[in-house]
Chains A and B, each alone.
Chain A
Amino acid sequence: MFQHLDLIRYRAYADLRAEASRLYVSYLWWIIEPIIEMLVYYVVFSQLLDRGGPAYVPFLLTGLALWKWFSSTIMVASGSIQRSHVLLSQVRLPVSIFPLISILTSSVKFLVLFLILIVFLLSQGYGATGSYVALPLLFAAEFSLILFLSGLCAAAVAIVPDLQLILTRILLMGLFLSGIWYDGSDLPESMQPYFYWNPMATIIDGMRKVLLENEIPPLGSLVCITALSFIGFLVVTWTLNKYDRKILKWTH
């Protein structure tokens, strides 16, 4: 895979450039699209349903930004091997590089979104504090989780395309179960341990602690998510490389 790093980087750049070239306002869509999406949630939950008071908007936007990075990357990466089938029949390339290209593309867009979120939070009086030292660990946890699940979903969808439809529903369920609109601590106490079994709920909760409450998140849980996800990623990559040609043969 390392010998293809230049290709992964350039392909991700090409995808971003191509996407921007197709649209009238080009790269501005990276900012406009998530803002529109967040605005929809803001209008529904903050204005129509009148939830949470003035602190609710930063709370909602923090959760949404992280969820968007996770879900949009998994969706794009899951179809990446299938979409590259023609190219894979022309040139000898490892299938494992295609989910990585999608991850890189989506992560660049997320970084832009995250910077906008930070600017918004600073404008709302949330200062950058010492708790920001935990940000790399939060990013590492979510990035590792994305690496692991993207490879797994890409291989599964390549062989059984129907799984992409199921994946859409699973991600929708994840959206409801990850505490985007509500705080996990508002759940009944008996439910809370189960709620935090969802790694995205732990990561989103941790990010809110850092950005909104100036607190250090539960480091043990985050290290555990990072380590397990990274091991999962290594196992998936090893399997993809080992059964590389078989996956290509059974790809639809």
Chain B
Amino acid sequence: MDTLTRMSINEANKEEILSFDQVSYFFSQRKGFTKRKKFWALKDVSFNICRGETVGILGHNGAGKSTVLRLLAGIYEPDQGQITNCGVSVSLLSLQAGFVPYLSGRENSILSGLTLGISKKKILEEIEAIHAFSELGDFYDQPLHTYSTGMRARLGFSIAFRVDPDVLLVDEVLGVGDSEFQQKSASKMREKIRGNKTVVLVSHNTHLIRELCQRAVLIENGHSIIQADTETVLKRYLESKNQKAL
């Protein structure tokens, strides 16, 4: 995608806060004693994010969408090209990050919150709200290894939801846990996304992308194919999906 195309997308003169410029990233696989094989997960990917908008990232499995989010979050560093961050905090919504099975839900809330970059003071202030939101009741003070998968998911979401960066990166996670909690968490996420927050959302769910995103980027085989309004990108994505199915 050239700079002109990208500039035309910013017709509303919104403030650009993050941009990918010809970004490439490879994973390295060891082949033998000294040999390594490079697998380019992304090649010359370019797009930009403006303040306050929700951008969807679309692509087939293995296209490189999650790698894009990790690069945006600063977890990975580009091997080629440049990522420009105009001084904003960026966080990937990570559920159950740093959980320790032998600690209680309360202790894991503090540990996971600190791991996600929330201050200890803020976690302690909000710990009862986390407890209430997770609906764990007395289990909150029991060790995590006694929890069901759904209970862990509820706790994970209740903590991660408290992270409040300038730019939130969401990888498929909208609703978690059993059907009731899924509705509750998805509704909270929708509320957050529809607010003033800048969000980058990765999803295969085209309805969700249409519902929440103002713009979208299509990534195929590690290349950014198009960045435009959501409808245009969705049309291109569905065409490519149909072609693959044939």
Contacts and interface: CB of A to CB of B under 8 A. Distances in A.
Contact of B102 (A21, A248, A252): A21
Interface in B79-125: 91-92, 94, 97-98, 100-103, 107, 110-111, 114-117, 119-120
Contacts of B110: 10
Interface residues of A, number: 23
B111 A17 contact: no
Interface residues of B, number: 27
B28 interface: yes
Interface stretch (A88-96, A119-127, A134-142, A197-205): A88-96
Contacts of A32: none
B125 to A, nearest CB: 14
A242 to B, nearest CB: 11
Nearest to B36: A250
Interface in A1-31: 6-7, 10-11, 14-15, 17-18, 21-22
Interface string A77-93: 00000000001111111
A6 B119 contact: yes
Contact of A250 (B28, B73, B103): B28
B143 interface: yes
Contacts of A248: 75-76
Contacts of A250: 28
Given A14-B107, A17-B102, A17-B107, A6 B115 contact: no
Nearest to B107: A14
A22 B102 contact: yes
Contact of A89 (B28, B70, B111, B117): B70
B52 interface: no
Interface string A114-134: 000000000000000000000
A246 interface: yes
26 contacts: A6-B120, A7-B115, A10-B110, A10-B111, A10-B120, A11-B111, A14-B107, A14-B111, A15-B100, A17-B103, A18-B100, A18-B101, A18-B102, A18-B103, A21-B102, A21-B103, A87-B98, A88-B75, A90-B75, A90-B92, A90-B94, A91-B92, A91-B94, A92-B75, A245-B74, A248-B75
